[in-house]
Structure 1
Amino acid sequence: MDKNLYADHIATLRSRYDDIMEQCGFDTLNVFSGAPKVQFLDDNYYPFKVNPQFKALVPVTDNPHSWVIYRRGQKPKLLFYRPVDFWHYVPPAPQTFWSDHYDIELLSKPADAKAFLSADSSHERAAFLGEISSFEQQGLDGWPIGIPNPEELLARLHWARAYKTPYEFACLREANRIAVQAHRAAEAAFRNGASEFEINLAYQQAAGQGENRMPYGNIIALNEHAAILHYTHLSDQRLPEADLKTFLIDAGADCNGYCADITRTYAFRDGEFAELVAAMDEKEQELVAGLKPGLPYPDLHRECHHKVGQLLSQFGVIKTSAESAVESGLTGTFMPHGLGHFLGLQVHDVGGHQTAPEGGITPPPVEYPFLRTSRTIEENQVFTIEPGLYFIDSLLAELKDSDLAKEVNWDKVDALRPFGGVRIEDNVIVHKDRVENMTRDCYTK
Structure 2
Amino acid sequence: MDKKLYSEHLATLRNRYDEILEQCGYETLNVFSGKSKVQFLDDNYYPFRVNPQFKALVPVTDNPHSWVIYTRGKKPKLLFYRPVDFWHYVPPAPQTFWSDEYEIELLSKPADAQQFLTAERAAFIGEPEGLQGWPLGDHNPEPLLARLHWARAYKTPYEMACLRQANQLAVRAHRAAEAAFREGASEFEINLAYLKAAGQGESQMPYGNIVGLNEHAAILHYTHLNTARLPETELRSFLIDAGADCHGYCADITRTYAYRDGEFAELVAAMDEKEQELVAGLKPGVAYPDLHRECHHKVGQLLQQLGVIKTSAESAVASGLTRTFMPHGLGHFLGLQVHDVGGHQSAAEGGITPPPQEYPFLRTSRTIEANQVFTIEPGLYFIDSLLSELKDSALASEVHWDKVEALRPYGGVRIEDNVIVHSDRIENITRDAYEQ
TM-score by length of 1: 0.98
Letter in 2 for 1:127: A
Q: Distance in 1 between matches of 2:315 and 2:386?
A: 19
> Does residue 1:143 correspond to 2:139, yes or no?
no
Equivalent residue, structure 1, for 2:128: 132
Equivalent residue, structure 1, for 2:6: 6
Q: For 1:210, what is the secondary structure of its paired residue?
A: coil
Deviation string for 1:9-62 (max 9, x for gaps)? 000000000000000000000000000000000000000000001000000000
Letter in 1 for 2:127: E
Q: For 1:144, what is the secondary structure of its paired residue?
A: coil
Letter in 1 for 2:96: T
> Does residue 1:219 correspond to 2:189, yes or no?
no
**Selected match of 1:240 from 228, 231, 241:** 231
Q: Distance in 2 between matches of 1:148 and 1:52?
A: 16
Q: For 1:106, what is the secondary structure of its paired residue?
A: strand
Deviation string for 1:342-368 (max 9, x for gaps)? 000000000000000000000000000
List runs of 5+ in structure 1 lacking aligned partners.
none
Letter in 2 for 1:318: I
How far the C-alpha of 1:406 sits from its partner, in A, is 0.3
Q: For 2:395, what is the secondary structure of its paired residue?
A: helix
Equivalent residue, structure 2, for 1:392: 383
Equivalent residue, structure 2, for 1:83: 83
Equivalent residue, structure 2, for 1:105: 105
Q: For 2:117, what is the secondary structure of its paired residue?
A: helix
> Does residue 1:272 correspond to 2:268, yes or no?
no
Equivalent residue, structure 2, for 1:43: 43
Q: Distance in 2 between matches of 1:80 and 1:440?
A: 37
> Does residue 1:371 correspond to 2:362, yes or no?
yes
Equivalent residue, structure 1, for 2:397: 406
How far the C-alpha of 1:407 sits from its partner, in A, is 0.3
Deviation string for 1:353-400 (max 9, x for gaps)? 000000000000000000000000000000000000000000000000
How far the C-alpha of 1:86 sits from its partner, in A, is 0.3
Q: Distance in 2 between matches of 1:329 and 1:132?
A: 44
Deviation string for 1:199-227 (max 9, x for gaps)? 00000000000000000000000000000
**Selected match of 1:291 from 282, 292, 304:** 282
- The list of structure 1 runs, each at least 4 consecutive aligned residues, that deviate by more than 2 angstroms after superposition, is none
Letter in 2 for 1:409: H
Letter in 2 for 1:128: F
Q: Distance in 1 between matches of 2:216 and 2:249?
A: 28
Q: Distance in 2 between matches of 1:330 and 1:399?
A: 8
Q: Distance in 1 between matches of 2:267 and 2:137?
A: 55
Q: Distance in 1 between matches of 2:140 and 2:321?
A: 42
Q: For 2:427, what is the secondary structure of its paired residue?
A: strand
Q: Distance in 1 between matches of 2:432 and 2:52?
A: 27
How far the C-alpha of 1:177 sits from its partner, in A, is 0.1
List runs of 5+ in structure 2 lacking aligned partners.
none
How well do the aligned residues superpose, as a CA RMSD in angstroms? 0.5
**Selected match of 1:438 from 408, 429, 434:** 429
Q: Distance in 2 between matches of 1:206 and 1:221?
A: 18
Q: For 1:54, what is the secondary structure of its paired residue?
A: helix
Equivalent residue, structure 1, for 2:246: 255
Q: Distance in 1 between matches of 2:361 and 2:162?
A: 28
How far the C-alpha of 1:333 sits from its partner, in A, is 0.0
Letter in 2 for 1:34: G
Letter in 2 for 1:52: P
Q: Distance in 2 between matches of 1:73 and 1:57?
A: 15
Q: For 2:387, what is the secondary structure of its paired residue?
A: helix
Q: For 1:355, what is the secondary structure of its paired residue?
A: strand
Equivalent residue, structure 1, for 2:183: 192
Letter in 2 for 1:65: H
How far the C-alpha of 1:96 sits from its partner, in A, is 0.1
Deviation string for 1:300-323 (max 9, x for gaps)? 000000000000000100000000
> Does residue 1:303 correspond to 2:299, yes or no?
no
Quick one: percent identity of the two aligned structures? 83
Number of equivalences: 436
Q: Distance in 2 between matches of 1:325 and 1:297?
A: 21
How far the C-alpha of 1:132 sits from its partner, in A, is 1.8
Q: Distance in 2 between matches of 1:49 and 1:303?
A: 36
1:68-79 equivalences under 5 Å are 68-79=68-79
Letter in 1 for 2:20: I
Q: For 2:188, what is the secondary structure of its paired residue?
A: helix
Q: Distance in 2 between matches of 1:241 and 1:73?
A: 64
Equivalent residue, structure 2, for 1:93: 93
Q: For 1:132, what is the secondary structure of its paired residue?
A: coil
Deviation string for 1:56-105 (max 9, x for gaps)? 00000000000000001100000000000000000000000000000000
> Does residue 1:337 correspond to 2:320, yes or no?
no
Structure 1, 140-149 or 236-245: larger mean CA deviation:
140-149
Q: Distance in 1 between matches of 2:299 and 2:146?
A: 34
**Selected match of 1:182 from 153, 164, 173:** 173
> Does residue 1:66 correspond to 2:57, yes or no?
no
How far the C-alpha of 1:131 sits from its partner, in A, is 1.1
Q: Distance in 2 between matches of 1:241 and 1:438?
A: 34
Equivalent residue, structure 1, for 2:33: 33
Q: Distance in 2 between matches of 1:348 and 1:51?
A: 14
